[in-house]
Amino acid sequence: MNLVRSELLKIRTTSTWWIFGLITLPLWALTALINWLQTDALASNNFGDVPADQADQIQAAQSVDSLAANVYTNGQFFGLMIVMLLGIIVVTSEFFHQTVTTTFLTVPHRTAVMLAKLAAAAILAVLFWLVTTLFNLPFGALVMNSVDLGSQLGSGAVWRATALNGLAYLLWSVLGVGIGVLIRSQIGATVTGILLYLGGAVGAAIAISILAARWGDWINDLQVLVPSLASSLMVSGTEIPGNPPRWAGAVVLIGYAVVAGAIGTLTMRRRDIS
């Protein structure tokens, strides 16, 4: 625990945490506005009349759950990128400020140091998730009530999506630590992380759409292999027709996090820090 507190102290005594916090707020507000407009448009188009058929009623209920889950996990897309960057900073700041030698002279067991960094990054990620969730609860209730669908806070789908959103935050922080270990340069690791996250999401979505049009809808299942798309799928709140199951996204993202953590630990143990 002393090592974890030490890692948290390193972040807390720098400007890193509040800079990322200030970046997160406008991004959250932007996605909140977009989600509100989308929810209003979708609710007006899909729920104007009460479906008479039972199957249609079930599908409508699933659509409401999906809308609510999306609203109550508002800010996830950029939030996950922020905690990934925090994970990168937890590692690369040691090399950037040239304190890594002192750290390993003080604590020669590098595995313990790496585990402390993973734990510190995970704690920061959970705190970011908690803050955004506290914003999302009143915001989500406001949006859902504004489109006459009720707050949906009694829906299990909303709370499952919220909990899985917390898991996504934690896993992306671990991925960030892994990237930070593999790329020592703070700028290089940050740029690489952003490109992998944003480029992976946008580029993979376009490529999969083109390939699916040529080779068939089964290609759409490959989206689950892209980390940013896997996390979105995991938190989607309902099983979406035509997409891989939600649990597949969770398994893939957990797998990436475990591999990143393991590779990061092994690399830290063997790498020359001079």
pTM of the model: 0.84
Q: If we measure between CA atoms, which residue out of 209, 250, 261, 246 comes closest to residue 227?
A: 250
User: What DSSP element (H or E) covers 49?
Assistant: none
Which parts of 183-245 fold into alpha helices (H)? 186-194, 200-215, 227-234
Task: Name the residue range of residue 51's domain.
Answer: 1-270
> Would you give the distance in Å from CA 214 to the centre of its chain?
31
pLDDT of residue 261 exceeding 60, the answer is yes
pLDDT band at 47 (very low <50, low <70, confident <90, very high): low
State the pLDDT at residue 62: 53
Structurally, the chain folds into a number of domains equal to 1
For 92-131, the pLDDT digits (tens) are: 887 777 777 777 777 778 788 888 888 989 999 999 999 9
User: What DSSP element (H or E) covers 13?
Assistant: none
Token pair recorded at residue 252:
């893939």
DSSP symbol at 240: P
Exposure string (b/e) for 90-104, b if CB count within 10 Å is 16 or more? Answer: bbbbbbeeeebeebe
**DSSP per-residue letters across 24-41:** HHHHHHHHHHHHHHHHHH
pLDDT of residue 45 exceeding 70, the answer is no
Q: At what angle do helices 76-96 and 227-234 cross, to 10 degrees?
A: 130
pLDDT of residue 187 exceeding 80, the answer is yes
Determine the Cα–Cα distance for residues 264 and 174; give it in Å rounded to an integer. Answer: 9
State the pLDDT at residue 57: 41
State the pLDDT at residue 122: 92
pLDDT band at 166 (very low <50, low <70, confident <90, very high): very high
pLDDT band at 149 (very low <50, low <70, confident <90, very high): confident
Token pair recorded at residue 90:
């937890």
Q: If we measure between CA atoms, which residue out of 95, 92, 117 comes closest to residue 7?
A: 117
Which parts of 47-155 fold into alpha helices (H)? 54-72, 76-96, 100-106, 110-146
